A and B are shown apart, each in its own frame.
Chain A
Amino acid sequence: MSRSGKTLTKYKIVFLGEQGVGKTSLITRFMYDTFDDHYQATIGIDFLSKTMYLDDKTIRLQLWDTAGQERFRSLIPSYIRDSRVAIVVYDITKKESFDFIDKWINDVKNERGEDNVILCIVGNKNDLTDQRQVSIEEGENKAKQLGANIFMETSTKAGYNVKTLFKRIAKSLPEFQNSTSDPLSGDSKTTSDKNDANVGNDKAGIIDISTEEGQQQSGCQC
């Protein structure tokens, strides 16, 4: 399918959400499997791309990290416009960031139309249970109500559900439509899915998300 890497199918993924909810952190966890307590605030837009390996297929993901502050929103539309996937992130310990996802989803729908985009809603900082302000159910309901394809809670700090998220996204892409059962079926499922453990060869520079991550550590050091 990939002719010597030359014509890898590329998918543009845009990350949206309020300031400080963990967009950069989510990307960093996915790309490098690392975490810092604090990332520099993103100014404007950051672009990263990564080759991903799943089910014997290789695709190229282009990740667009955006600034969260409201005034930056005017700069972002064109990046939403061409995106195949939009990931709207909120912070489960900040109700406000949750309330804002309607706005972001609206932006996406305005730019992209409802059908052409895979919409994901992600509640991050799931490790901070004692500070939780938004319940999983609220998240699920909101996702249903807004017609999101994927809803998930993650913890970029604990590395929880991040790979799973990207795996589910990948499986929603046309590339994988034939090889899997309907990927959008388990929309509101939030627990880490420990299902299909695909065997994939590790290739240098390629993220193989076939293996499941299991650690669901807790406790915050801050």
Chain B
Amino acid sequence: MSKDETTIKKMLVDHKIDGPLAAKGFGPKYSLRSPSVPNLHAKVYTEYNMSDPTVGNATGGQGTSINEEDGTLSVIDMYGDDDNDIDDIVSSRAINLGSGNDDGNDADDLRSSTQSENIFNTTSINNSIDKPNGTGTGKNVQQDAQHNDRYGFKKQNNSISESDYDRWWLDYSKYCIRRKHKWQLLLEKSGLPIVDDSPIRFPPKSEKLKRYVRKGIPAEWRGNAWWYFARGQEKLNKHKGLYDKLLVKVDKMTSQNKNDKTYPDLDIIERDLNRTFPDNIHFQKEVFQNGEPPMIKSLRRVLVSFSLYNPKIGYCQSMNFIAGLLLLFLDEERAFWMLVIITSRYLPGVHDINLEGVNIDQGVLMLCVKEYLPEIWTYIYPNHSDTTVDTESNRRTMSSVPHKTQSSMMKNNFLYKLPPITLCTASWFMSCFIGVLPIETTLRIWDCMFYEESHFLFKASLSILKLSEHDLLKHTKKRYHSSSRLPYSITGSNHNSSGDLLNNKMHQDENDMEIFQVIQTFPKKLLNPNDIFDKIIFKKKFSFNRLDQEEIDRCRKYVTTQRNKYKRYVELIGNDDKTSEESSATLVNKENLDKTQDADDIINGALSSEVYGFKRNLTGVHWNNSLKEKVRQMKKKIDGDE
């Protein structure tokens, strides 16, 4: 142990000198390009260790984790959420045994588990950076170590209790060790070096690698793996030195005048800094008595730099979470470029000022639900729009349309007036599931997103919706235990028609809320990433698992076109909620009547192509897989006949 401690101290000193710490802007110059895996090896816990001997175990391991040849460390420390707890010691032994049995190779196992210790390091990231003395915080830290997960997030939240978490982690940590071991073998086989437990290159894409990614990238490799799969270096190389230049500007802006009104994003970012992961120790003030946590400083620099780099987006709430999570795994410059990549490649337009990208993606998601999960679709979008009542409750973002054309627009009108639930699912995309799902599950989806591109976000969304079916059924049954299973099919009752309509609307509203609540709450309980994967993603029977990037891209294009057509129509006809009076006046106006008819033509044209477009999509994009299958069978039959 004393040897460990020396190592720790030495490491600490090393890091103070040439680690990522200098790069974080604490040194005189920003040199952010240097370290290969900066964050993972800068350790805050090492400092805690020195200040409070009781937390020594957890950190002692870390010091050696970089060169762990001697392997004398106890497994307890690696998953040392709770050093002094007897339960934990027992459980850690179980880990040791468990993984030993599974892998059948003690030496390897020990090694793999020792390295797994780094997982814990992941939590510590770069917090040590400007914490000049660690005294006095030991107690808090110890508590944190107990109540926080390996990334520094609080284990407990409104949906998950700490004991739930610990119970799950007991098994899941073993799983992580096993998976990491497999990754090590895979990399060795591929002839790729793992230096300092921080590989920077990964094998070429393959079905096997895809499966590995889907089962989770080892936490301490994540930063590098994401960077590699998202081709971050390529991006950075194209813009060498740009981040440094941006930082110079940022520095000027933030140091001179924080309330610079000419640059409104600055203030908006400022207000969100402390509202980014307030339950994560790395983002908390208390631990860092001297000024801001370095993490907050980094976050500010990344976000302000981004808003300078891409004024079209500037700063959009939710990017703080994305950048914050990136900073837990990558150094500042790489986090910046990953933010650039995420907002352009994986979530195009989603954070734009008009948020149109998010609406498009919700349209795409709704199309997918309708196609692949019709059973869920009946909850989300029952036939309520077929009635004439709906105008109040059903529309969301877009304005209403005259009744004449409304009926013809019904077919796909959920693309313009997105179902209410999309306001919930919109945040899934905007924050890329951060805060929506528990952290391990979120990270797993990120793994897959970087490897498989953005269509995986839709797969993940569909999986969550599918998994929530049980809850949806339960809740709506409770309410509609009477005749029908479907929430909205209350028609055909004996009421007079107006009462019926009223009832209908009331039920719709209530039901929308019920569904909203279920869909909002359900994902927060998905503590175990494997639930999504083993129950849905790896199951062939779910046809949406055949969705690929090409399909989603085309679908995005299609929804974009449809929404644009609709918007043009609304502009032309001048019908908007806010100007409904004016527009009804213009309708009477003769001159404008022609205009209206033109518009009608346009919308009809748009609609016909809309319907056709969707059908074309069905076959052309292999949208409808059952249809595709039918065609194949017919072909077979014809071939056979010949």
Mutual binders A and B:
yes
Q: Tell me the A residues contacting B by CB distance below 8 Å.
A: 10, 19-20, 36-47, 49, 62, 67-69, 71-72, 74-75, 77-79, 81-82, 96, 110-111
Contact of A81 among B274, B392, B435 (CB under 8 A): B392
Judged by a CB distance under 8 angstroms, whether B354 is at the interface is yes
14 contacts between A and B (CB under 8 A): A10-B510, A38-B274, A39-B275, A39-B278, A40-B275, A41-B275, A41-B321, A44-B430, A68-B317, A69-B268, A69-B316, A69-B317, A75-B397, A81-B392
Cβ-defined contact, A71 with B272, below 8 A = no
Judged by a CB distance under 8 angstroms, whether B320 is at the interface is yes
Cβ-defined contact, A41 with B276, below 8 A = yes
Top 4 nearest A-B pairs by Cβ distance? Answer: A44-B427, A38-B278, A20-B271, A43-B427
Cβ-defined contact, B278 with A43, below 8 A = no
Complex: A75 Cα to B435 Cα, angstroms: 19
Cβ-defined contact, A74 with B355, below 8 A = yes
Complex: A181 Cα to B276 Cα, angstroms: 44
Q: Which B residues between 398 and 456 are near A, CB-CB below 8 angstroms?
A: 420, 423-424, 426-427, 430-431, 435
Given the complex, which residues of A lie within 8 Å of B435, measured CB to CB?
40, 43
Judged by a CB distance under 8 angstroms, whether B123 is at the interface is no
CB distance from B286 to the nearest CB of A (A): 10
Judged by a CB distance under 8 angstroms, whether B393 is at the interface is yes
Complex: A49 Cα to B509 Cα, angstroms: 14
Cβ-defined contact, B424 with A110, below 8 A = no
Complex: A44 Cα to B420 Cα, angstroms: 12
Cβ-defined contact, A20 with B509, below 8 A = no
Judged by a CB distance under 8 angstroms, whether B567 is at the interface is no
Complex: A76 Cα to B453 Cα, angstroms: 30
CB distance from A57 to the nearest CB of B (A): 19
Judged by a CB distance under 8 angstroms, whether B67 is at the interface is no
Stretch at the interface among B141-149, B213-221, B513-521: B513-521
Complex: A44 Cα to B520 Cα, angstroms: 11
Q: Which residue of A lies closest to B362 (CB)?
A: A75
Given the complex, which residues of B lie within 8 Å of A19, measured CB to CB?
268, 271-272, 317
CB distance from B154 to the nearest CB of A (A): 11
Given the complex, which residues of A lie within 8 Å of B631, measured CB to CB?
none
Cβ-defined contact, B424 with A44, below 8 A = yes
Complex: A36 Cα to B517 Cα, angstroms: 23
Complex: A69 Cα to B279 Cα, angstroms: 22
CB distance from A72 to the nearest CB of B (A): 7
Judged by a CB distance under 8 angstroms, whether B578 is at the interface is yes
Cβ-defined contact, A40 with B513, below 8 A = no
Cβ-defined contact, B423 with A75, below 8 A = yes
Given the complex, which residues of B lie within 8 Å of A110, measured CB to CB?
577-578
Judged by a CB distance under 8 angstroms, whether B227 is at the interface is no
- Knowing A10-B510, A41-B275, say if A78 contacts B354 (CB, 8 Å): no
Contact of B392 among A42, A71, A77, A82 (CB under 8 A): A82
CB distance from A22 to the nearest CB of B (A): 11
Complex: A39 Cα to B279 Cα, angstroms: 9
Complex: A110 Cα to B581 Cα, angstroms: 12
CB distance from B431 to the nearest CB of A (A): 5
Given the complex, which residues of A lie within 8 Å of B426, measured CB to CB?
44, 75
Judged by a CB distance under 8 angstroms, whether B353 is at the interface is yes
Complex: A26 Cα to B355 Cα, angstroms: 27
Q: Which residue of B lies closest to A19 (CB)?
A: B271
Cβ-defined contact, B393 with A46, below 8 A = no
Complex: A52 Cα to B272 Cα, angstroms: 32
Judged by a CB distance under 8 angstroms, whether B565 is at the interface is no
Cβ-defined contact, A71 with B275, below 8 A = no
Q: Which residue of A lies closest to B283 (CB)?
A: A38
CB distance from A78 to the nearest CB of B (A): 5
CB distance from B611 to the nearest CB of A (A): 25
Q: Which residue of B lies closest to A96 (CB)?
A: B267
Apart from the given pairs A45-B423, A96-B267, 12 other A-B contacts in the complex at a CB distance below 8 Å = A19-B268, A39-B278, A43-B318, A43-B321, A43-B435, A44-B424, A45-B427, A47-B516, A67-B317, A69-B268, A71-B316, A111-B577
Judged by a CB distance under 8 angstroms, whether B379 is at the interface is no
Given the complex, which residues of A lie within 8 Å of B510, measured CB to CB?
10
Judged by a CB distance under 8 angstroms, whether B396 is at the interface is yes
User: Which of A19, A67, A75 has the most chain B CB atoms inside 10 A of its CB?
Assistant: A75
Judged by a CB distance under 8 angstroms, whether B395 is at the interface is yes
Contact of B393 among A49, A71, A77, A82 (CB under 8 A): A82
Cβ-defined contact, A40 with B317, below 8 A = no
Complex: A46 Cα to B521 Cα, angstroms: 10
Complex: A83 Cα to B274 Cα, angstroms: 31
Given the complex, which residues of B lie within 8 Å of A81, measured CB to CB?
392
CB distance from B501 to the nearest CB of A (A): 16
Q: Which residue of A lies closest to B425 (CB)?
A: A44
Judged by a CB distance under 8 angstroms, whether B372 is at the interface is no
Cβ-defined contact, B277 with A82, below 8 A = no
Cβ-defined contact, B354 with A41, below 8 A = no
Q: Which residue of B lies closest to A45 (CB)?
A: B423
Cβ-defined contact, B278 with A20, below 8 A = no
Given the complex, which residues of B lie within 8 Å of A38, measured CB to CB?
274-275, 278
Given the complex, which residues of A lie within 8 Å of B424, measured CB to CB?
44-45, 47
Cβ-defined contact, A47 with B354, below 8 A = no
CB distance from A85 to the nearest CB of B (A): 15
Cβ-defined contact, B275 with A43, below 8 A = no
Cβ-defined contact, B353 with A71, below 8 A = yes
Cβ-defined contact, B278 with A40, below 8 A = yes
Q: Which residue of A lies closest to B393 (CB)?
A: A82
Complex: A48 Cα to B321 Cα, angstroms: 22
CB distance from B351 to the nearest CB of A (A): 8
Contact of B520 among A46, A67, A77, A82 (CB under 8 A): A46
CB distance from B441 to the nearest CB of A (A): 17
Q: Which B residues between 239 and 282 are near A, CB-CB below 8 angstroms?
A: 267-268, 271-272, 274-279
Q: Which B residues between 55 and 103 are near A, CB-CB below 8 angstroms?
A: none
Q: Which B residues between 560 and 591 are near A, CB-CB below 8 angstroms?
A: 577-578
Q: Which residue of A lies closest to B396 (CB)?
A: A78
Complex: A37 Cα to B286 Cα, angstroms: 11
Complex: A36 Cα to B158 Cα, angstroms: 14
Contact of B395 among A20, A69, A71, A78 (CB under 8 A): A78
Contact of B513 among A43, A62, A68, A74 (CB under 8 A): A62
Q: Which residue of A lies closest to B279 (CB)?
A: A40
Given the complex, which residues of A lie within 8 Å of B430, measured CB to CB?
43-44
Complex: A47 Cα to B513 Cα, angstroms: 8
User: Which of B321, B392, B423 has the most chain A CB atoms inside 10 A of its CB?
Assistant: B423
Complex: A40 Cα to B426 Cα, angstroms: 17
Contact of B277 among A40, A67, A74 (CB under 8 A): A40
Given the complex, which residues of A lie within 8 Å of B321, measured CB to CB?
40-41, 43
User: Which of A40, A45, A46, A111 has the most chain B CB atoms inside 10 A of its CB?
Assistant: A40
CB distance from A95 to the nearest CB of B (A): 11
User: Which of B275, B354, B392, B393 has the most chain A CB atoms inside 10 A of its CB?
Assistant: B275
